[in-house]
Homo-oligomer: A and B are copies of this chain.
Amino acid sequence: MRILHTEPSADGFSMPAEFSEHYGCILIWPHRRDSWQNGAYAARKAFAELITAISESEKVIVCARYEDYDSARKALPPQVRVVEMSSDDSWARDVAPTFVTNGKEIRGIDWGFNAWGGLHDGLYFPWDKDNKMARKLCDLLDCDTYDKRDFILEGGSIHTDGEGTLLTTEECLLSKGRNPEMSKAEIEQTLCNTLGVKKIIWLKRGIYHDETNGHIDNICAFTAPAEVVLAWTDDKNDPQYEISQECLDILENETDAKGRKIKVHKLPLPEPVHITAEECDGLDDMDGEPTRIPGERLAASYVNFYISNGAVIVPQFGDKNDKTAVEILQKLFPTRNVIGLPHSRDILIGGGNIHCITQQIPSTTCSGNLRIRSLHSLQN
């Protein structure tokens, strides 16, 4: 693995859309007792269901701490690879590399990670193990890595269409806990240089009470070029209403990098989800303070799905809209099997959902790297 200090876009690399073909997917086996209730037991069950579903159509690599390897290996089917890797928590979307490709090879972006806000409003301390994962994952995959550790970014705060357009939120990317010394224009330039995009569409805010400072991946996602789903509520008394309406107004008045109008599909939100006292009892304190308070609203959203090669896997909350969300997405992804994940609440308690705990590895590219390099060494 080479550690590169050039710009991916100048090297001919860009970030493909999630709906492009994958080599596989990275996840991290949950363990953190102040994030996941009851010693992460319930979360592991939900993760295992998700991992099994993804592994039906692409390779899955699960990172487990030394002490959790046996538990992960036992819980997961044999086609899944479990590898030892230290982590502070289990949000692969935000700590694994963002992969870019030139169509022949993949490389991984190693962004700086500071637990969603560092000492300003980060969610835990320290975060050094998480911050080191992206580089190690590139090494594991035998692909080169771009050192962008001086720019703080989580994978959950960006979505691309693979055709030059990037979606993000001001709430997150302009937050004081990320890159406060940079102007919006400088951040735009960094995104363009690093991800090979030409146009940034800025929504204002993400889902109400989302502790990531409003990650895009919980509120709005591309389903095809120039098509997005937007988390939606018709309840004007819900603080989410105004946020979603604001997003809609922006999207309907924007065009993408290719000048196309954007088609917005409303994806209804579930009724507000609140954590129970019993659930809070299953969470360890963090630095002597409760991690969550009974009745606290959780940032539940159906937009937090993962697109695998063969499926779209969508959170389910035991809500009347569970089925509607699956039906809407099934129409938007006619070649994939849209699957609801029953135990999504056990992931939500940790603070995110399916998309937050997955990171796709693009195809040709990485599998190509692996094969070409293996052959290369044999030909010597």
CB within 8 Å of B: which residues of A? 1-3, 21, 23-24, 56-59, 66, 69-70, 73, 78-79, 81-86, 129, 132, 135-136, 139-140, 142, 144, 309-310, 363, 367, 370-371, 373-375, 377-378, 380
Contact = CB atoms under 8 A, between A and B. Distances in A.
A29 to B, nearest CB: 13
Contacts of A79: 377
Contact of A1 (B1, B57, B81): B81
Nearest to A85: B84
Contacts of A378: 21, 23, 58, 309, 363, 367
A85 B69 CA distance: 11
A25 B58 CA distance: 27
Kindly list the 6 A-B residue pairs having the minimum CB-CB distance in the complex, ordered from nearest.
A367-B374, A66-B86, A2-B78, A59-B377, A57-B380, A371-B371
A136 to B, nearest CB: 6
Nearest to A140: B83
A294 to B, nearest CB: 36
Contacts of A132: 69-70
A373 B80 CA distance: 11
A58 B380 contact: yes
A61 to B, nearest CB: 10
A339 to B, nearest CB: 15
Given A57-B377, A371-B374, 12 more contacts: A21-B378, A58-B378, A59-B374, A69-B132, A70-B132, A73-B139, A81-B142, A82-B139, A83-B84, A84-B84, A370-B370, A371-B371
Nearest to A63: B84
A59 B378 CA distance: 8
Contact of A24 (B310, B371, B377): B377
Nearest to A142: B81
A352 to B, nearest CB: 24
Contact of A136 (B56, B84, B139, B363): B84
Contacts of A23: 374, 377-378
A83 B374 contact: no
Contacts of A375: 367
A82 B57 CA distance: 28
Nearest to A21: B378
11 contacts: A1-B82, A3-B73, A21-B378, A59-B373, A70-B132, A82-B136, A83-B140, A309-B378, A367-B375, A370-B370, A371-B374
Most buried by B among A59, A69, A378: A378
Given A136-B84, A367-B375, A56 B380 contact: yes
Contacts of A59: 373-374, 377
B370 A83 contact: no
A136 B83 contact: yes
A310 B140 CA distance: 24
Nearest to A380: B57
Nearest to A80: B1
A310 to B, nearest CB: 6
A90 to B, nearest CB: 16
A139 B86 CA distance: 16
A367 B378 CA distance: 9
A79 B377 CA distance: 9
A122 to B, nearest CB: 21
A380 B21 contact: no
Contact of A83 (B21, B57, B83): B83
Contacts of A135: 73
Nearest to A67: B86
B140 A81 contact: yes
